[in-house]
């Protein structure tokens, strides 16, 4: 069984400040981890994924995530937040590298304050 | 990245009618597609796995006679909500992936049952 947890329902950050959205995972075997973003009444957009390799993964729109095996975490980060980053962020895990079904966390609403 | 479309984007229907939602992979073939349901301010819940040329696999608690899935071609899966009721009102999202690649999500369909 695999699962991901997002401990924060909402994160508020001032524009220009660094942001972190937290995610922890519990998977058997090698973890396949993802971050997606959802804007209101829209589908999900892929940001980045960790399959194997470097622990620091760079993705779309300046986002990156750090895979930490000892802490079983995969936090999403960005050095300087934009107001347009305000959205709902989902951490997810998957079997088989992501081309099989995906299990989502509960989501974290990011609010970037001008 | 790959593109997945859904039609319609929004539908309003009367209680007791059936509604069909289409999910298309526009620039790749997908032997497997996934259907998710999202309630307001909640995460995505996997409903079923749609398999081209064979029966869909439903998650526990999802009524297969209520949510009919047909995956008739490598680029099209349809979800039919039969005899819809107000409690079926939700945001339905499909996903698909090119072989060995990440899941890409459609823009979603907002169903409102009056």
State how far residue B82 is from chain A, nearest Cα, in angstroms: 23
Across the range B62-74, mean pLDDT stands at 93
Asked if residue B102 has pLDDT above 70, the reply is: yes
Nearest residue, CB atoms, B97 vs list A45, A98, A103: A98
B103 CB neighbours in chain A (<8 A) are 34, 46, 94, 98-99, 102
Categorize the per-residue pLDDT at A98 as very low, low, confident or very high, splitting at 50, 70 and 90. Answer: low
**Strands A73-78 and A64-68, how do they pair?**
antiparallel
| Per-residue pLDDT at A96 | 60
The CB density around residue A110, as the number of other CB atoms within 10 Å, is: 22
| Residue B53: closest CA among B70, B35, B67, B36 | B70
Residue A52, judged by CB atoms within 10 A of its CB (0-12, 13-18, 19+), counts as exposed
pLDDT per position as a tens digit, B8-65: 999 999 999 999 999 999 999 988 899 999 887 788 899 999 988 889 999 999 999 9
Asked if residue A55 has pLDDT above 80, the reply is: yes
Task: Find, in chain B, the residue whose alpha carbon is nearest to that of A37.
Answer: B105
Which residues, other chains included, contact A10 with Cβ-Cβ below 8 Å and sequence gap of 6+?
Answer: A108, A109, A110, A111
Asked if residue A1 has pLDDT above 80, the reply is: no
> Of the ranges B52-56, B88-92, B99-103, which one carries the lowest mean pLDDT score?
B99-103
Query: For residues B43-70, b (16+ Cβ closer than 10 Å) or e, as one string?
Result: bbbbbbbbebeeebebeeebeeeebbbe
Q: What is the DSSP letter of A36?
A: E
Q: What is the DSSP letter of A40?
A: T
Q: Calculate the average pLDDT of chain A.
A: 90
Nearest residue, CB atoms, A43 vs list B1, B46, B93: B93
More confident residue, A106 or A101: A106
Q: Are A78 and A84 in contact (CB under 8 A)?
A: no
Q: Calculate the average pLDDT of chain B.
A: 92
A44 CB neighbours in chain B (<8 A) are 44, 93, 95, 105
More confident residue, B14 or A96: B14
Q: Pick the residue of A94, A99, A100, A103 with the most B CBs within 10 A to test the interface with B by mutation.
A: A99
Torsion of CA B30, B35, B40, B44, to 10 degrees: -80
User: What CA–CA distance (Å, rounded) separates B40 from B28?
Assistant: 31
| Per-residue pLDDT at B72 | 84
State how far residue B108 is from chain A, nearest Cα, in angstroms: 5
Across the range B72-80, mean pLDDT stands at 93
Asked if residue A2 has pLDDT above 90, the reply is: no
pLDDT per position as a tens digit, A27-46: 877 788 999 999 887 788 98
User: What CA–CA distance (Å, rounded) separates A53 from A68?
Assistant: 12
What value, to the nearest 5°, has the Cα angle with vertex A89 and ends A84 and A90?
A: 160
**Cα–Cα distance list, B31 to A109, B7, B15, B73, B99 (Å):** 33, 19, 33, 8, 9
Nearest residue, CB atoms, A44 vs list B99, B100, B105: B105
């Amino acid at each position: 069984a695999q699962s991901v947890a997002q401990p924060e329902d909402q994160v508020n950050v001032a524009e220009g400040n660094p942001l972190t959205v937290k995610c922890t995972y519990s998977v058997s075997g090698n973890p396949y981890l993802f971050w997606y973003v959802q804007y209101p009444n829209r589908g999900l957009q892929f940001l980045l994924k960790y399959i194997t390799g470097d622990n620091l993964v760079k993705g779309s729109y300046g986002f990156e995530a750090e895979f930490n095996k000892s802490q079983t975490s995969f936090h999403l980060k960005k050095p300087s937040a934009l107001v347009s980053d305000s959205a709902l962020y989902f951490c997810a895990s998957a079997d088989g590298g992501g081309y099989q079904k995906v299990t989502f966390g509960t989501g974290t609403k990011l609010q970037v304050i001008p | 990245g790959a593109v997945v479309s859904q039609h319609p984007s929004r539908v309003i229907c009367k209680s007791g009618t059936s509604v069909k939602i289409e999910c298309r992979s526009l620039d790749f073939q997908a032997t497997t597609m996934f259907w998710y349901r999202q309630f307001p301010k909640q995460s995505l819940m996997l409903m079923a796995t749609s398999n081209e040329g064979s029966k869909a696999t439903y998650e526990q608690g999802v009524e297969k006679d209520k949510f009919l899935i047909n995956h008739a071609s490598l680029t099209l899966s349809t979800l039919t909500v039969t005899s819809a009721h107000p409690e079926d009102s939700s945001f339905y999202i499909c996903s698909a992936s090119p072989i060995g690649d990440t899941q890409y999500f459609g823009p979603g369909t907002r169903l409102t049952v009056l």
